[in-house]
Amino acid sequence: MKKRKLGLALSLVLAAGTLLGACGNSENDDKESSNGKDKKDNFTVAMVTDTGGVDDESFNQSAWKGIQEFGKENDLKKGKEGFNYLQSKSDADYAKNLNTLVREDYKLIYGIGFLLAEAVGEVADQRPDSQFAIVDTVVDKKNVASINFKEQQGSFLVGVIAGLQTKTNKVGFIGGVESELIKKFEVGFKAGVLSVNPDAKVEVKYAGDFNKADIGKSTAGSMYASGIDIIYHAAGGTGKGVFTEAVEQKQKDPKREIYVIGVDSDQAKLGAVPGTDDNITLTSMLKRVDVAVKDLSEKAKAGKFPGGEVIEYGIEENGVGISDTKDNVTDESLKAVEEWTEKIKSGDFVVPGTDKEFEKLGL
């Protein structure tokens, strides 16, 4: 009888201990949920730059701006629990950086620029459970969303300004790497210039690189020497050399009217002439990578990640346009920009994006 009572008592003690242990574990789980688990469940986002770097005053910087805005609006901080970027010094870094972000468990990972297409495709195949996005090209994978822009539309508008404001009827275009993408900038710009000024001549040069400021500078120097007075660049970091050359030329001859049209973001600060109030930036073609990146991040966070789809941003989506810096733009040019913008939005005019489409205009 005593053995039975002892056994019962022992059973009750063990049961109580188990119950208390369970309560303790539950309390710990709650703490883990409120501290660690919620953080783990946060929607995190990161990007890999191309070799131009995150502070290129252009494409990468605009993308990073969009991610930062997304982070701020969603109470996220820079780092593994929120948003981040990895910078690529060479193309060999692309896949390595993408894989690093996958291992750090970012929910959405961007490859910024068409140069990362191959790496994004490879890593997407290796990591089918991860979500990726590529900017400026198409990677046909179920776990990759492809962001494209109608760069030709914004380039057309700055072309209208250049065509109306050139004093020499000679304007220039400097591209980075000649490709289907940069062709849209070139062709749209030429169409804009010639639509308002059929007497103008547009000279086109490619640097062969997006990160060679010295080549941009020397190319701009030869263009200005030939009488060109306005240059539009779509050359990433190479374009910084175009601004440097124009600023130096303006310092040598303050009365000379030469300008640069920036790209991707408002590049007015690159055109400031030291010691003066002059600025050689005419305007900039805005390619709102920030708008697109932020928009796609919101979609993915809401569980609507458009994997396998191509999303295109144009004038209608506020994806392209001209910058707010317009101090050197005439009222006539601004009025013309408004008129052409409405024609494009209504579909009355379709801006060409290829040589073949440009030829059909007969300009």
pLDDT, residue 18, reads 45
Q: Which residues of 115-140 are buried (b: 16+ CB within 10 A; e: fewer)?
A: bbbebbbbbbeebeebbbbbbbbebe
The conformation of residue 132, written as its DSSP 8-state character, comes to: E
> In Å, how far from its chain's centre is CA 79?
20
DSSP characters over 55-100: TSSSHHHHHHHHHHHHHHHTT--BSTTSEEEE--SSTTHHHHHHHH
- Residue among 189, 273, 268, 280 at smallest CA distance from 233: 189
Give every strand in the sheet of 108-112, ordered side by side: 83-86, 45-48, 108-112, 131-135, 144-149, 310-313
Delimit the domains of the chain by residue range: 41-149, 151-286+330-361
Rounded distance between C-alpha atoms, residue 297 and residue 110, angstroms: 10
CA–CA distance, 320 with 150 (Å, rounded to integer) = 7
Quote the percentage of the chain above a pLDDT of 90.
Answer: 83
36-40, 87-91, 137-141, 311-315: range with lowest mean pLDDT? 36-40
Q: What's the longest Cα–Cα distance across the chain?
A: 115
Confidence of residue 41 (pLDDT cuts 50, 70, 90): low
3-state helix, strand, coil in the chain (%, to 5): 50, 20, 30
- Flag whether pLDDT at 25 surpasses 70: no
Residue 59 pLDDT class (50, 70, 90 cuts): confident
Homologous superfamily assigned to 41-149: Response regulator (3.40.50.2300)
Tens digit of each residue's pLDDT (9 = 90 or more) over 154-208: 999 999 999 999 999 999 999 999 999 999 999 999 999 999 999 999 999 999 9
pLDDT at 7 over 90: no
Given a cut of 80, whether residue 118 has pLDDT beyond it is: yes
pLDDT digits (tens, 9 = 90+) for 296-322: 999 999 999 999 999 999 999 999 999
User: Which residue type occupies 137?
Assistant: T
In tens, the pLDDT along 249-295 reads 999 999 999 999 999 889 999 999 999 999 999 999 999 999 999 99
* Tens digit of each residue's pLDDT (9 = 90 or more) over 46-56: 999 998 889 88
- Mean pLDDT, residues 334-358 taken together: 97
Establish whether domains 41-149 and 151-286+330-361 are of one fold: yes
Per-residue pLDDT, 21: 45
Report yes or no: 70 and 298 within 8 Å, Cβ to Cβ. Answer: yes
Name the CATH architecture for the domain at 151-286+330-361: 3-Layer(aba) Sandwich (3.40)
| C-alpha to C-alpha distance for 108 and 328, rounded to whole angstroms | 40
Distance of CA 110 to CAs 94, 119, 151, Å?
11, 11, 20
